[in-house]
Amino acid sequence: MRSPLRPIGEAFWSVRWPLAALALLLAFNAAFTPGFFALEVRDGRLFGVLVDILNHGSRVAIVALGMTLVIATGGVDLSVGAVVAISGAVAATLVAQHGAPWPLAMGAALAVSLIAGVWNGVLVTVMRLQPIVATLILMVAGRGVAQLITDGLIITFESPPLAYLGNGSLLGLPVPVAMLAGAFVAFGLVSRRTTLGLFIESIGDNPPAARLAGVPDRLVVLLVYAVCGLCAGAAGLIDCSYIKAADANNAGQLLELDAILAVVLGGTSLAGGRFLLFGSVIGAMIMQTLTKTLYMQNVSADIAPAPKAIAVILVCLLQSPVVRERVRRMRGGGGA
């Protein structure tokens, strides 16, 4: 009989390298960044740098979860940043300018994001465009759509329930963390307890073989892009909730990069196939910790992308088949 703890152990073992990287980053901060691990309780919730990383990292991680599935099918979604902007614009405009109740505003924002995801999926599956190109269209046009919704203005709103998403706390932790936990459990259950996860991996591994084996490949790919859009929409709600405003021009700017990099750092191959949801969450936290570390080392927010880019290229080099082959040869042909 399988021990119920075994899958959890396996999950941790499969992400040992990302975890090691995260531990290394935290160790660096323990040594060089004063006050990095300081935590305090105020008004029944935790405050501190780590909590801040968890809070903002969760937003990236939610997008990264959707992105993981897309990448596992051998695709990529460049439009998530634009969808974040659209989702925030819809929610803020409905609440602030049309006096809509908050559940309607949130529902509408998520519905629009879902439609955006379906649009991407249709372009990929029906028009058979390359995923990079298909999602590039929404990446270009989506921000225009968001600005169209807000009329180019920054829409501020006063809605306690909507502001709660980004600023409230649940069990002492910021709300996005709880949202991430919910999304992670849902993704984990659906992808490991149903055949959907297997379908996704088989499509990413070998599309013709998956089709011949009877996998409904178009439907699955369409679904995956739709889910990715929905995740971006949820992140968009968090994003506009942080600042209690929708800024169509800047919301989710460069988020697609952070999300893709989180997935890659987490150990999911960009070529598709096997995917690691837990790895992507860790990857998102690595990205956020790296960003925060740079800020606390007095690197300006404008310059911070440069060292991030170097870190990412290094990780990709380590993962590349060429380097792995060379390492294997150095070990004398044995080992993994």
Partner 1 sequence: MATAVVLVGVFAAGAFRYPHFASWAVVRNLFVDNAFLGIAAVGATFVILSGGIDLSVGSVMAFAATLIASLVERHGMHPALAMSVALLAGLGFGALQGALIRGFRLPPFLVTLAGLFFARGAAFAVHPQSIGIRHPFVAQTLNDTLSLRFHLGAKIMTIPCTVFLLLATFGAAWVALRHTRFGRSVYAIGDDEHAAGLMGLPVARTQVGVYAVSGLCSALAGVAFTLYQQSGDPAACKGLELDAIAAVVIGGTLLTGGVGSVLGTLLGVLILGLIQTLIAFQGDLSSWWTRIAVGALVLLFLGLHRGVEGLARRAAAGPDGRG
**Pick from 132, 316, 144, 103: which is nearest to 225 by CA?**
132
CB of 69 to partner 1, least distance (A): 18
Q: How buried is 9 (Cβ within 10 angstroms: 0-12 exposed, 13-18 middle, 19+ buried)?
A: exposed
Q: Residues in the site for partner 1, rule: CB under 8 A?
A: 76, 123, 127-130, 132-133, 136-145, 147-148, 151-152, 254, 257, 260, 264, 270, 300, 302-310, 312-313, 316-317, 320-323
Q: How far is the CB of 72 from partner 1 (least distance, A)?
A: 15
Look up tokens 């860790």; give the residue: 282
- Cα R_g (the chain), whole angstroms: 20
Q: Looking at residue 42, what DSSP letter applies?
A: E
Contact 84, 239 (CB under 8 A): yes
Residue from 84, 92, 229 nearest 162 by CA: 92
Give the residue with the Cβ less far from partner 1, 213 or 306. 306
Structure tokens at 187: 């993704």
Nearest CB to partner 1, comparing residues 75 and 176: 75
Q: Which is nearer to partner 1, 2 or 329 (CB)?
A: 329
- Asked whether 317 and 323 are in contact (CB, 8 A), the reply is yes
By C-beta, is 39 or 132 nearer to partner 1?
Answer: 132
30/141 with CB nearer partner 1: 141
Q: How far is the CB of 64 from partner 1 (least distance, A)?
A: 15
CB of 306 to partner 1, least distance (A): 3
CB of 128 to partner 1, least distance (A): 7
Q: Which of 90, 77, 24, 17 is nearest to 258 (CA)?
A: 77
